[in-house]
Structure 1
């Protein structure tokens, strides 16, 4: 069994949503794991933000009984993996609790480090990009020669390559310019909804990895 601890700032928005989403996905897949959440600046006993509760309800999750809690040495000792929402959370954690140095990561970085096929997918994407450029050049030449049939055939090949490129590229650039999970605090429900979608996408990948490990185990 793996024990996951999600950490954000106040333990009222991001980490409770991550906790609830992972617990639901794990139950759906029949996975054996435990989940908790905490905050680096959390006050004990606070309710989750109303928009966070509402967004989770839209996903069929009742997390209205959530109560915030601060990060403690006991929680960190309990966890096998500590996943923070931002790099600054992780930095604070390691500075304040050196015990967490070997188990604390940002959510995104931890998942990306464990997706074993990532390097292969980069190579495959590079190959597909070369093929796309080759087909484009061939199509341009066919059009210049007035060969409509060949141009149409190449157009079809380009559509297929574009689909393959989209599939193999999914998640490769996930960190982009922002390896942190966006903070919805103070925003409207739509802002919370976007953050929940971002977290959910990463949680789904986390569940995929855990499931693959449990199969192999």
Structure 2
């Protein structure tokens, strides 16, 4: 059973949409996954946004989602943490360094372009090396800075748009953006399920 935690800012708009939409798919397809969501600046127990709730209801979700502030217990529970933006990813890793190996943006995690994946891997490695140098008061070379800069421009924008304060149509566009990534995620989950069944 794969445990997936979606993360956004207040856990009222994007991550509840991702949670609800994926839970529908998991149920429909009988996939071995549990899904939750949380926020890096959330107030635990608050209702999710009216527009997110409306879209989930429209999609056939009949469960209940309340906002949750991300905490150590949720991080430990999750096998994979999928954030809505690169900023959320950085915040999660800063607060919970032990989660670095399992935290990705949703769009990054489902990326299937081999060249982009290589660029991401190289950038992560370089950024880590540069941060270590800075922590040890060592000089970061212009070549290292330029390489990170060029890699940044080779990688697509992995942030999912924030519909907060927008109309239902704005939320619908965000839901569509999330759904596109969830299609790829469900494909990965299916492959994982098929692989585990073959291995029995």
Query: So what's the TM-score if we normalise by structure 2?
Result: 0.75
Whether 1:19 aligns to 2:57 is no
1:53–1:62 Cα contact (<8 Å) kept: no
Q: How does 1:44-59 map to 2 (within 5 A)?
A: 44-59=44-59
1:182 equivalent in structure 2 = 161
- CA RMSD in angstroms comes to 1.7
Whether 1:76 aligns to 2:75 is yes
Whether 1:199 aligns to 2:151 is no
Aligned partner of residue 65 in structure 2, secondary structure:
coil
Q: How does 1:40-189 map to 2 (within 5 A)?
A: 40-63=40-63, 65-112=64-111, 115=112, 118-119=113-114, 178-189=157-168
In structure 2, runs of 5+ residues without a counterpart are: 116-153
Write out the 4+ residue segments of structure 1 that deviate beyond 3 Å after TM superposition. Answer: none
Distance 1:192 1:107 in 2: 17
State the shift of 1:176 in Å: 7.8
Distance 1:26 1:119 in 2: 27
- Count of paired positions: 158
State the shift of 1:177 in Å: 5.1
2:85–2:105 Cα contact (<8 Å) kept: yes
Distance 2:18 2:75 in 1: 17
In structure 1, runs of 5+ residues without a counterpart are: 121-174
1:169-210 per-residue CA deviation (whole Å, 9 max, x = no partner) reads: xxxxxx985310000000010000110011011111101111
State the shift of 1:119 in Å: 4.2
Pairing partner for 1:213 from 183, 187, 192:
192
